[in-house]
């Protein structure tokens, strides 16, 4: 069981709860958002994936400075990422996401690891 929603009530974490995943430059989960606008930060420790609840915000992306490894994102269309609060906080178009330094992937990976890390985090 994991905390979900603004009131932090208990709910079962499933692949349906996950609506946005940002992968790091090594193509591992970096941040994950749920359908309740909850964000989790991920890290690798001793070969294991760990999750930490990081607040309630809508999915967003931001521009990367040159030299940072390209990141990948996957999202459900109803939860398209925004521009992180910059002027209007509107959903971004695919070309804008790509211009920010991301590539868009069609199929999310590591879902079972992500769910396990959240449930055990």
pLDDT tens-digit series, residues 9-35:
456 789 999 999 999 888 899 999 999
Q: What is the pTM of this model?
A: 0.85
DSSP structural state of residue 68 = S
More confident residue, 10 or 100: 100
Q: What's the pLDDT at 7?
A: 43
Cα–Cα distance between 71 and 100 in angstroms, integer? 10
Cα–Cα distance between 59 and 39 in angstroms, integer? 8
Largest CA distance in the chain: 41
Mean pLDDT of 48-61: 87
Residue 44, pLDDT above cutoff 90: no
CA angle 12, 28, 64 (to 5 degrees): 115
DSSP structural state of residue 42 = E
Q: Enter the tokens of residue 120.
A: 């055990």
């Amino acid at each position: 069981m994991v905390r979900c929603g603004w009131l932090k009530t208990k709910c079962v974490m499933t692949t349906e709860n996950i609506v946005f995943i940002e992968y790091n430059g090594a193509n591992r989960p970096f941040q994950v958002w749920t359908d309740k606008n909850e964000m989790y930060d991920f890290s690798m420790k001793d070969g294991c994936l760990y999750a930490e609840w990081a607040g309630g915000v809508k999915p967003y992306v931001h521009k990367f400075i040159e030299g940072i490894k390209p990141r990948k994102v996957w999202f459900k269309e109803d939860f398209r990422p925004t521009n992180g609060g910059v002027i209007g906080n509107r959903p971004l178009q695919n070309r804008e996401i790509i211009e920010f330094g991301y590539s868009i992937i069609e199929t999310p990976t590591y879902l079972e690891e992500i769910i396990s890390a959240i449930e055990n985090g």
